[in-house]
Amino acid sequence: RVVAHAGIVNRLLWMQQTYELGPEDRVLQKTPASFDVSVWEFFWPLITGAVLVLARPGGHRDPGYLAELIRDRRVTTAHFVPSMLRVFLDDPAAGQVRGALRRIVCSGEALPSELAERCAASLPGTELQNLYGPTEAAVDVTAWPCSEGTRSAAGSVPIGRPVWNTRTLVLDASLRPVPPGVPGELYLGGTQLARGYLRRPGLTADRFVADPFGPPGARLYRTGDLVRWTAQGALEFLGRTDD
């Protein structure tokens, strides 16, 4: 995937405006560098004057080690995919992070409602943010604060509303917008869209399509994800179109 620097910068500046890291904050970097989440773990603290705390290689798999690191280094922000968040909360050591960890960012998988509610009960005072996005659109394109609710008809936390300079369209098979409550495929557009797949023109042409609602040359990315709008203007993830 060829992702422009402008897309990553947009993503980082949106995150800072939304969550406001300060010099007193410490961000845990534990995601392997081959995964896109590592981009904001590395660069968000570095562009804001916060502290970057590096986990040891492979440490992301050890919940006991992570709990001790968060406690000892006073980490205030950490990322977990939902399946690892469940493993982390299952470990008795997780209670050690109370009072230090102010924010958990979840992405990479659907966040079950019951897991979000369990996190709130286990770690009171720690906010939980649910983000969604493919690598083809500079890491994350929508966000939902779990303080606004954790329930949806799909049984998972909503994936929320688009970040800066990002378009989220829910379309039917004929590329027509569908009304709230009606499932459709999620298409993405805007600053964070990748240029395509490196040396794979066929796949690029299949997944990055002409935007029927934009100016000449505008493109949309077909995510293959099935979603719907809620009456409140948020997106709910329902599954894959090929399931």
Q: Counting Cβ atoms within 10 Å, is residue 163 exposed (0-12), middle (13-18) or buried (19+)?
A: buried
Nearest to 150 by CA among 82, 75, 223: 82
CB of 55 closer than 8 Å to CB of 28: yes
Whether this prediction's pTM lies above 0.85 is answered by yes
What are 150-163's pLDDT values in tens digits? 988 889 999 999 99
From the list 138, 130, 135, the residue with the least C-alpha distance to 191 is 138
The DSSP 8-state label assigned to residue 15 in this structure reads H
Bridge-based pairing state of the strands 142-145 and 51-54:
unpaired
Q: Reduced to 3 states, what is the DSSP secondary structure of residue 111?
A: coil
pLDDT tens, 197-221?
999 999 999 999 999 999 999 999 9
Q: How far is CA 26 from CA 21, 71, 89, in A?
A: 9, 11, 21
Judge residue 234's burial from the number of C-beta atoms within 10 Å of its C-beta, 0-12 exposed, 13-18 middle, 19 or more buried: buried
Q: What b/e sequence results for 9-19 when a residue is b if at least 16 CB atoms lie within 10 Å of its CB, and e otherwise?
A: ebbbebbbeeb
pLDDT for 242 equals 87
Q: Residue 8, Cβ neighbours under 10 Å: how many?
A: 18
Residue 193 contacts residue 176 (beta carbons within 8 Å): no
172-187: per-residue pLDDT in tens?
A: 999 999 999 999 999 9
Judged by DSSP in three states, 47 sits in helix
Element (H, E) at 131: strand 127-132
Residue 89 has pLDDT above 90, yes or no: yes
Q: Tell me the two tokens of residue 186.
A: 């999620």
Q: What domains does the chain contain, in order, with CATH numbers?
A: 5-162 (3.40.50.12780), 166-238 (2.30.38.10)
Residue 219: what pLDDT?
Answer: 97
